[in-house]
């Protein structure tokens, strides 16, 4: 599926892109849920160690995902301007960027991860299990980057079905490999949490090959012109890719900060946080598909200077987000406790996780507004605010607020509702800012 997004019904385009993408991300999240389930079967310590590594793992996703969003925006704008040759030159430079990022992430991660785990209070078996997982993931980070970048190019032409297919197959393969590597058999000893990481890396490697194979068949890679190095493309990558990368990396830092402040409440709270975040991600899945569709639609229509279509895309996406919020709240309040018990029967874990989920339910629409308006800013090439907003949302405000909570020794629920309040404040601000930027562009 290769779609011209500058003509035709916007609602139909949004559904056509968002639905396959949401299905794919459902299986992506279920992939992570499977890992959490098997870690819970090993022990509460294994489950907590997996939760500890989540912030570092998310940095890999942040670098790959953030820079790949820049790729989608740049290629989408070039296609909107009908400059196919420039789009192909961007693809050449994407390969260079991917190789550099893979080397940087791997080396940096291996060096700093032991220190970060110890800051969070991991020691002894707790630390050993956490490192046995994250080290394997870091050595395979090139495969994550390859998957994200290949998919970014496919997204720019409106093709989300290939990634959906990969994520679906990835989920089922992961169930099989997790069971095999954790339990052992056929000559493989029980590997514990290291086996969960090994399963992930093997699947990412084959997924990267699958995406590259499908990308090769697209019109973008046919009749490629000679490579011409262009420093302006590198600069454009940095301008477009760094803000969402920093934004997502600061999200990882935000998770690290939350884990740091809740860890004194005990390992059961750290484990509960890891489980509850997975459940929250499942509820947010449809909004991620909408987010992908908004970025693709806005990028192409901004390149074609069809600003009314840009505005209509965002308005329709926010209406969809409102409906999804209502559905999400009902699901969390009705089934949140049952979902937590799938992963842990420890009543302390369930109680702590339920507190987080109830607070998160009120903030689902805030997340959706943030996602949609970030895509808008990236699509119109105005992503600079993301860095400053993330610094406030993920670092400055949480540290200030949580430090007060810790000083006055407030109970755990204050942290959960504090997170929800910070997200809502961020959503309202970015909604106001993005509307202003779009209005200026339309007036020009």
pLDDT at residue 124 is higher than 50:
yes
Q: Answer for the pair 247, 66: CB distance below 8 angstroms, yes or no.
A: yes
**Total residue count of the chain as it appears in this document:** 444
Give the range among 187-191, 385-389, 407-411 with minimum mean pLDDT: 385-389
C-alpha 149/C-alpha 140 separation (Å) is 15
Q: What is the pLDDT of residues 58-80, one digit of tens each?
A: 778 778 887 888 888 888 888 88
**Domain range list for the chain:** 10-443
C-alpha 270/C-alpha 264 separation (Å) is 9
C-alpha 46/C-alpha 202 separation (Å) is 21
Phi and psi dihedrals of 3, rounded to 5? -115, 135
Phi and psi dihedrals of 433, rounded to 5? -65, -45
- Would you tell me how many other CB atoms lie within 10 Å of the CB of residue 172? 14
C-alpha 253/C-alpha 187 separation (Å) is 39
pLDDT at residue 24 is higher than 80:
no
What percent of the chain shows pLDDT beyond 70?
99
C-alpha 304/C-alpha 437 separation (Å) is 17
SS3 letters across 302-363: HHCCCHHHHHHHHHHHHHHHHHHHHHHHHHHHHHHHHHHHHHCCCHHHHHHHHHHHHHHHHC
C-alpha 444/C-alpha 440 separation (Å) is 6
C-alpha 113/C-alpha 122 separation (Å) is 11
Average pLDDT over the chain, rounded to an integer: 86
What number of CA atoms fall less than 13 Å from residue 310's CA on the CB side? 28
Q: Answer for the pair 18, 293: CB distance below 8 angstroms, yes or no.
A: yes
Q: How confident is the model at residue 412 (pLDDT cuts 50, 70, 90)?
A: very high
What percent of the chain shows pLDDT beyond 90?
31
More confident: 266 or 420: 420
Distances (CA, A) of 30 to 33, 301, 333, 340, 418: 5, 33, 20, 14, 27
- Would you tell me how many other CB atoms lie within 10 Å of the CB of residue 432? 10
pLDDT score for 68: 85
List, in order, residues 6 or more apart from 226 with CB less than 8 Å away: none
Give the range among 293-297, 312-316, 423-427 with minimum mean pLDDT: 293-297
pLDDT at residue 3 is higher than 60:
no
pLDDT score for 1: 47
pLDDT at residue 345 is higher than 90:
no
C-alpha 398/C-alpha 393 separation (Å) is 7
C-alpha 431/C-alpha 369 separation (Å) is 7
Tokens of 122: 């991991």
Q: 185 - beta bridge partners? A: 188
């Amino acid at each position: 599926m290769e779609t011209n997004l500058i003509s035709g019904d916007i609602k139909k385009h949004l559904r056509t892109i968002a639905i396959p993408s949401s299905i794919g991300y459902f299986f992506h999240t279920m992939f992570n849920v499977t890992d959490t389930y098997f870690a819970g079967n090993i022990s509460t310590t294994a489950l907590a160690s997996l939760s500890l590594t989540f912030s570092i793992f998310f940095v890999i996703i942040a670098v790959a995902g953030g820079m790949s969003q820049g790729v989608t925006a740049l290629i989408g704008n070039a296609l909107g301007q009908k400059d196919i040759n420039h789009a192909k030159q961007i693809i050449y430079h994407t390969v260079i960027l991917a190789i550099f990022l893979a080397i940087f992430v791997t080396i940096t991660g291996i060096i700093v991860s032991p220190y970060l785990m110890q800051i969070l209070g991991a020691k002894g078996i707790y630390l050993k299990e956490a490192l046995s997982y994250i080290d394997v993931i870091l050595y395979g980070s090139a495969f994550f980057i390859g998957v994200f970048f290949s998919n970014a190019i496919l997204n720019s032409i409106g093709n989300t079905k290939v990634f959906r297919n990969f994520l679906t197959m990835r989920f089922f393969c992961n169930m099989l490999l997790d069971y095999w590597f954790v339990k052992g058999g056929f000559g493989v000893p029980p590997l514990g949490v290291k086996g969960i990481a090994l399963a992930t890396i093997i699947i990412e490697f084959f997924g990267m090959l699958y995406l590259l194979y499908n990308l090769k068949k697209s019109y973008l890679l046919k009749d490629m012109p000679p490579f011409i190095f262009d420093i302006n493309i590198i600069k454009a990558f940095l301008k477009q890719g760094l803000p969402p990368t920093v934004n997502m990396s600061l999200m990882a830092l935000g998770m690290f900060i939350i884990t740091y402040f809740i860890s004194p409440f005990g390992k059961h709270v750290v484990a509960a946080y890891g489980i509850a975040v997975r459940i929250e991600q499942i509820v947010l899945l449809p909004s991620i598909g909408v987010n992908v569709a908004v970025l693709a639609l806005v990028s192409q229509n901004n390149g074609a200077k069809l600003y009314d279509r840009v505005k209509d895309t965002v308005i329709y996406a926010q209406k969809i987000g409102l409906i999804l919020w209502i559905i999400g709240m009902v699901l969390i309040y009705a089934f949140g406790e049952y979902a937590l018990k799938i992963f842990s029967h420890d009543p302390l874990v369930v109680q702590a996780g339920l507190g987080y989920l109830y607070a998160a339910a009120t903030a689902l629409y805030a997340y959706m507004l943030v996602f949609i308006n970030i895509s808008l800013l990236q699509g119109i090439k105005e992503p600079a605010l993301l860095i400053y907003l993330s610094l406030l949302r993920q670092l400055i405000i949480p540290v200030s607020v949580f430090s007060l909570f810790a000083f006055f020794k407030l109970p755990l629920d204050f942290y959960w509702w504090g997170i929800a309040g910070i997200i809502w404040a961020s959503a309202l601000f970015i909604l106001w800012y993005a509307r202003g930027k779009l209005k200026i562009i339309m007036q020009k």
